[in-house]
Amino acid sequence: MARPMQVVKIYGVQDRRSTTQAKLPWVVRYTIDGRHRSKSFRTRIEADRYRGRLLQAVQDGSRFDESTGEPDAWQTPLADLRVHEWARRWLDEQWQEWQPRTRTSAVEALARLVTLAVSGNAVPPEELRVYLYTALVPGSDAGWDVTLERWMKNCLTLGELDRERIADMDRKLALKLDGTQMAANTANRIRIVARACIHSAIAAGAVSADVWPQRSKSRARRKVARTKRGVDIRTLPSPAVMAGAIDAIVTQQPGSKTYRVMTAVAYYAGLRPSEVVMLRVRSLDLPAGGWGRVDVTEADISFDEPGEPKTGTQRPHPARARQHPPPMDQRQRTRRSGPVVVPNSEQHHAERIELGPRVAPRPRIGRPTAAARLRLPPRRRDHMATRRYAPR
């Protein structure tokens, strides 16, 4: 049965130079069976050349691929795609399903993979890895560097990946820029993303066999390879030291009061910095007497982008000005709060109410606050130890 004839319409070149955000101002627009397509270029000559090729393909009767939006005759065999081209395609397929932090982690891992997947004599430029942090993001045209894009022709093709080269890349993925070994968790995270990208090429038939080396199962069972999660409570600062440090945060700078409240809430209530910066006044239930409640319902998953907190969808925390242990039915899911939380939060809210509904709003200059710069002592995971060292 013959396939239905496609209806392809090619429009003129659009000029978007009046838009300051447009890095590629010349846009070629066309439709395939009513579905709109477009491609942007830096110069008018490149846009006219691409439009001319589309018109020639329509005149020759070429069929257009529905996924790429270009004629089938233009398609490069998957084995001839370079690693950075496949990484961009794979990221574009997975992007919508990922959370912002997962996207950032994946781009970081693939940027390291691309800088390693080069021919033996080629030396990657020092700025290539940082450039790939933005160049690999789907739909991003910010900071497009023609020189670096031209240099990436030195990347290996998928067909050139063999077991020896992949093994060397797997080893180097676990090394820092100075050649020292990464932390085991960091190296494992980078390898997982890189392996998933290459395995997708294997599933698509671009790579003939599974060339990625298998991880030794015996190593995961060794005690040396296990992650040590324990925290020595004796190394933590005492409540008196922390109370003095929190009081010393306040200076002549207006923003110091914000940081004092954020640090107090994080220390006494056990909140993460990403949860503190998104704490709303409506999440506080602070009666005049007795125990109050702080509901952790959202966290900052990107710059000013609310999302689900890391531990569950909602975590209640007790808050009270006087020293009193929480009720027995709350001790499994709550942490004890000290006397600084309630007075400071109320006072700070009264002073900064005009800035919005948050207890600790961000600075007006628009930069991230404690989520990136606040350094707190390790969290107290053992509840009994927490109660033992809580303020008396």
**What is the CATH topology of the domain spanning 233-388?**
hpI Integrase; Chain A (1.10.443)
pLDDT of residue 76: 67
Spans of all domains in the chain:
8-75, 79-216, 233-388
Taking only the tens of pLDDT, the chain with its 392 residues reads 456 788 899 999 999 988 887 788 999 999 998 889 888 888 899 899 999 999 998 988 888 887 778 888 777 677 888 888 889 889 988 888 888 889 999 999 999 999 999 887 888 888 898 899 988 888 776 667 788 888 888 898 888 888 888 888 889 999 988 889 998 889 999 999 999 998 888 888 777 777 777 766 555 555 555 556 677 888 888 889 999 999 999 999 888 988 888 888 888 888 888 888 888 888 888 787 777 788 888 888 776 777 778 765 455 666 654 333 444 343 333 334 444 444 444 444 433 333 335 565 554 444 444 433 433 344 433 333 333 333 43
Give the count of alpha carbons within 13 A of 212, CB side only. 19
pLDDT at 5: 82
Name all contacts of 296-302 with Cβ < 8 Å and 24+ positions apart: 296/271, 299/272, 299/274, 299/275, 300/274, 300/275, 300/371, 301/99, 301/100, 301/101, 301/274, 302/100, 302/101
Distance CA 231, CA 52 (A): 66
- 386 vs 377: CA distance, rounded Å: 13
